[in-house]
């Protein structure tokens, strides 16, 4: 038995580590579910006027409404949707109550990129968003052809001379037949922790079986 102590200590350490990782994923799954539920509640809440002072972290996904007018040129951000394929998000300046903010109006097909967009007076209902879409693999925006590859609120605001405030529209009044809203939802928030839970606990179970098998074989050899 003494010859197995070092192995048993190692086996116990590995088993504890695997179970600990599984337990951590259980906690993360609960935290992620709570976060998604909170985001869904914010997305579906009754809209309020755009607050005068905003903080991206605190006001992310806030449901808002604004009445004003679209003005000036738009920016096209390349996007691909499951149902409609490749196209562009149309982002335009919106003047409301003495403020100038950004509105992500929604999707147009690639073939319609040069079609004039409806402008003028409108009421927009949607959610505030400060997306984090740019990383080291994101191409630089093609400003000459008005093709952007990420919704960088700071850069968008600088280009269209607005506040760094973006509303992702759920709908506009009057509705625009040329633009399909792409409202925010939680589908882009991954929650794969159940897979990781199964993986870590499964590895723990396999480790127990392998340990038992090893000890049995060693015991059999010792008795021969």
Model confidence pLDDT, tens digit, residues 116-169 = 887 889 999 999 999 998 888 999 999 999 999 999 999 999 999 999 999 999
* 48 burial via Cβ count (<10 Å: 0-12, 13-18, 19+): exposed
Residues 76 and 152 in one domain: yes
Q: The domain containing residue 31 runs over which residues?
A: 2-38+200-222
Q: What is the DSSP letter of 52?
A: S
> What average pLDDT is seen over the chain?
91
pLDDT at 120: 84
Mean pLDDT (whole number) for 23-31: 94
The answer to whether position 192 is within a domain reads no
Residues 34 and 73 in one domain: no
Please provide residue 16's backbone torsions phi and psi, each rounded to the nearest 5 degrees: -65, -40
Task: Please count the structural domains in the chain.
Answer: 2
């Amino acid at each position: 038995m003494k010859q197995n102590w070092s192995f048993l200590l190692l086996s116990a350490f590995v088993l504890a580590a695997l179970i600990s990782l599984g337990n951590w994923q259980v906690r993360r799954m609960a935290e992620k579910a709570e976060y998604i539920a909170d985001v869904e509640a914010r997305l579906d809440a009754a809209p309020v006027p755009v607050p005068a002072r905003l903080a991206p972290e605190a006001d992310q996904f806030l449901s808002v409404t604004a009445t004003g007018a679209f003005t000036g040129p738009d920016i096209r951000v390349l996007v691909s949707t499951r149902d409609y394929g490749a196209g562009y998000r149309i982002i335009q300046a919106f003047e409301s109550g003495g403020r100038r903010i950004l509105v992500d109006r929604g999707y147009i097909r690639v073939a319609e990129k040069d079609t004039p967009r409806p402008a003028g007076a409108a009421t927009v209902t949607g959610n505030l968003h400060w997306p984090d879409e740019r990383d080291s693999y994101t191409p630089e925006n093609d400003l000459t052809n008005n093709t952007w590859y990420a919704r960088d609120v700071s850069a968008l605001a600088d280009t269209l001379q607005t506040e760094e405030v973006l509303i992702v529209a759920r709908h506009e009044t009057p509705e625009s037949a040329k633009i399909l809203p792409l409202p925010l939802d939680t589908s882009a928030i991954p929650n794969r922790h159940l897979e990781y839970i199964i993986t870590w606990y499964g590895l723990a179970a396999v480790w127990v079986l392998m340990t038992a098998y090893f000890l049995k074989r060693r015991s059999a050899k010792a008795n021969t």
